[in-house]
């Protein structure tokens, strides 16, 4: 009886797999860009593809956020049912490439000159063993300060150039009765801020050694200890309610003028735009003090899967359209990030965007473009999350001293490696 049942089940599943209606003129896309601005930005890409005769099909994902999408993708790939492409982050691309399920876009890349136009640091994630497996869509950078200009004028502050300047500025805000620093007490936000603190405290070389190469000596150095001390200093300037707050609520505090400054990636700019604020007059964007000239980045990528031959043409069209200059400009103007190729004109961008593009170009040429550890571009997810644990436990007091924090950081990263 049981055996018969099993045979029946096997037959039923094999039917399900063979009933695969292939449609060449269609792009299947898994992504979690569903909010207003992002969806609008993606419509540009849909339009570009429609002009070439390719239909767009979203792969539905229940529940928002990247986690749900990644779980869905894992299930699809495990079932052998690859989408044309999927929005992916950092090491996920390399994991899937190592599993041998990614396609090969090297020919297209050569024809379009991606090797030259896409920053080398990004190619670490979009090229696997010499083959292009993903098309980067944008470059976000995390070492930014977002400041409410009205509050800044009121307290008579100027752009902080060093960490000490920054602390002095926060003191001024505190004296004026404004919440100096808007922070959301979730581990990724705390760690994202700590990325900048480390770069500011130890300089570019140190950041790279510690957070990209995971060099043991750097991780347990006094500079790292100093960085934790600096983080502790910053945390004294947050309001008592910060724990658990979402990042966009922290941004809203700056927009409304309840708080002076937020340390956050450039996706925060989208919130300012949505509130109809203009850079320069309503808000200011500065690099985190002491990090000028370096860029800590993360990037959204479209991972390209090894689809059947009759779907490859659509995939090439998608990849080409994604890295086309017109889409890169149109999309990133809306998203708040900067284009993933350095040869896109900055005419349509606002002041912060223009600065971002120039900084990216300079950092790329000067070798100071580093992956953000908090955002999963410095090390694989196991290490990145172990790092976030330590930073968050330090901020919330489970780890009490910077000595202990350094010990814990080394231990956690070793354990996760």
Partner 1 sequence: MSTVATSQIKLTPERSRTSVRSRLQDALPKIVLAPSFAITIVFVYGFILWTIYLSFTNSKTFPSYVITGSRAYQRLWGWTFDTDPPSSWYTSITNMGIFGFLYILICLALGLFLAILLDQKIRGEGVLRPIYLYPMALSFIVTGVAWKWFLDPGLGLEQTLHQWGWTSFHFDWIKNKDFVIYTVVIAGVWQASGFIMAMFLAGLRGIDGEIMKAAQIDGATTFQLYRRIVIPLLRPIFLSAFIVLAHLAIKSYDLVVALTSGGPGGSAWLPSNFMYEYTFKRNEMAVGSASAVIMLMTIVAIIVPYLYSELREKPR
State the minimum distance, in angstroms, from the CB of residue 5 to partner 1.
Answer: 5
SS3 102: strand
Q: Which is nearer to partner 1, 179 or 263 (by Cβ)? A: 179
DSSP per-residue string spanning 384-401: HHHHHHHHHHHHHTSS-S
Q: Which of 320, 331, 310 is nearest to 52 (CA)?
A: 320
Residue 235: Cβ within 10 Å count: 18
SS3 29: strand
State the minimum distance, in angstroms, from the CB of residue 244 to partner 1.
Answer: 6
Q: Which is nearer to partner 1, 72 or 357 (by Cβ)? A: 72
Taking the C-alpha atoms of residue 337 and residue 353, their distance in angstroms, rounded to an integer, is 7
State the minimum distance, in angstroms, from the CB of residue 70 to partner 1.
Answer: 7
E strand intervals along 79-202: 85-89, 127-128, 131-132, 134-136, 138-141, 144-148, 179-182
- Show the DSSP H helices in 79-134 as ranges: 91-98, 106-112, 114-117, 120-126
State the minimum distance, in angstroms, from the CB of residue 65 to partner 1.
Answer: 11
β-pairing verdict for 85-89 and 26-30: parallel
Taking the C-alpha atoms of residue 110 and residue 245, their distance in angstroms, rounded to an integer, is 45
Q: Could you give the count of Cα atoms lying within 13 Å of 96 in the half-sphere of its Cβ?
A: 34
User: What does the binding site for partner 1 look like in residue numbers (CB under 8 A)?
Assistant: 1-2, 5-6, 9, 67, 70-71, 74, 78, 92, 95-96, 99, 185-187, 240-241, 243-244, 380-382, 385-386, 389, 392-400, 404, 408, 415-416
Q: Which is nearer to partner 1, 92 or 298 (by Cβ)? A: 92
State the minimum distance, in angstroms, from the CB of residue 370 to partner 1.
Answer: 22
Report the number of secondary-structure helices (H) and strands (E) in the chain. 19, 15
Q: Which of 346, 347, 329, 271 is nearest to 44 (CA)?
A: 329
State the minimum distance, in angstroms, from the CB of residue 382 to partner 1.
Answer: 5
Q: Which is nearer to partner 1, 154 or 396 (by Cβ)? A: 396
Classify 86 in phi/psi space as left (phi over 0), alpha (psi -120 to 50) or beta.
beta
SS3 28: strand
Q: Which is nearer to partner 1, 222 or 246 (by Cβ)? A: 246
Q: Which is nearer to partner 1, 56 or 237 (by Cβ)? A: 237
Taking the C-alpha atoms of residue 283 and residue 411, their distance in angstroms, rounded to an integer, is 41
């Amino acid at each position: 009886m049981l055996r018969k049942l099993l045979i029946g089940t096997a037959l039923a599943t094999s039917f399900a797999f063979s009933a695969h209606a292939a449609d060449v003129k269609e792009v299947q896309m898994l992504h979690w860009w569903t909010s207003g601005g992002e969806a609008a930005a993606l419509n540009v890409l849909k339009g570009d593809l429609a002009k070439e005769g390719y239909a767009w099909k979203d792969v539905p994902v229940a529940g928002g956020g990247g986690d749900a999408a990644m779980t869905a993708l894992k299930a699809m790939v495990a079932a052998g049912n690859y989408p044309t492409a999927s929005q992916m982050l950092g090491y996920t691309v390399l994991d899937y490439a190592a599993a041998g399920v990614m396609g090969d876009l090297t020919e297209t890349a050569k024809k379009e000159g991606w090797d030259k136009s896409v920053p080398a640091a990004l190619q670490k994630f979009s090229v696997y063993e010499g083959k292009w497996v993903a098309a980067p869509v944008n470059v976000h950078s995390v070492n930014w300060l977002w400041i409410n200009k009205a509050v800044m004028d009121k307290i008579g502050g100027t752009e902080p150039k060093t960490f000490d300047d920054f602390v002095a500025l926060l003191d001024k805000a505190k004296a004026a009765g404004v919440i100096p620093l808007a922070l959301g007490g979730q581990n990724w936000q705390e760690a994202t801020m700590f990325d900048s603190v480390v770069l500011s405290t130890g300089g570019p070389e140190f950041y790279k050694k510690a957070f990209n190469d995971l060099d043991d000596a750097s991780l347990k150095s006094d500079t790292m200890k100093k960085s934790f001390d600096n983080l502790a200093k910053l945390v004294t300037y947050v309001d008592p309610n910060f724990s658990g707050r979402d990042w966009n609520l922290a941004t809203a505090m700056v927009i409304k003028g309840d708080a002076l400054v937020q340390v956050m990636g450039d996706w925060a700019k989208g919130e300012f735009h949505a509130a109809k604020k203009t850079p320069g007059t309503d808000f200011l964007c500065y690099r985190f003090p002491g990090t000028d000239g370096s860029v800590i980045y993360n990037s959204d990528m479209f991972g390209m899967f090894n689809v059947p031959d009759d779907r490859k043409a659509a995939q090439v069209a998608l990849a080409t359209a994604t890295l086309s200059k017109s889409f890169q400009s149109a999309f990133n103007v809306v998203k708040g990030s900067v284009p993933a190729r350095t040869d896109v004109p900055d005419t349509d961008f606002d002041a912060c965007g223009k600065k971002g593009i120039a900084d990216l170009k300079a950092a790329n040429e000067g070798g100071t473009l580093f992956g953000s550890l908090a955002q999963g571009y410095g090390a694989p997810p196991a290490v990145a999350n172990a790092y976030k644990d330590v930073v968050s436990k330090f901020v919330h007091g489970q780890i009490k001293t910077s000595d202990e924090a350094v010990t814990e950081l080394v231990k956690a990263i070793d354990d996760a490696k």
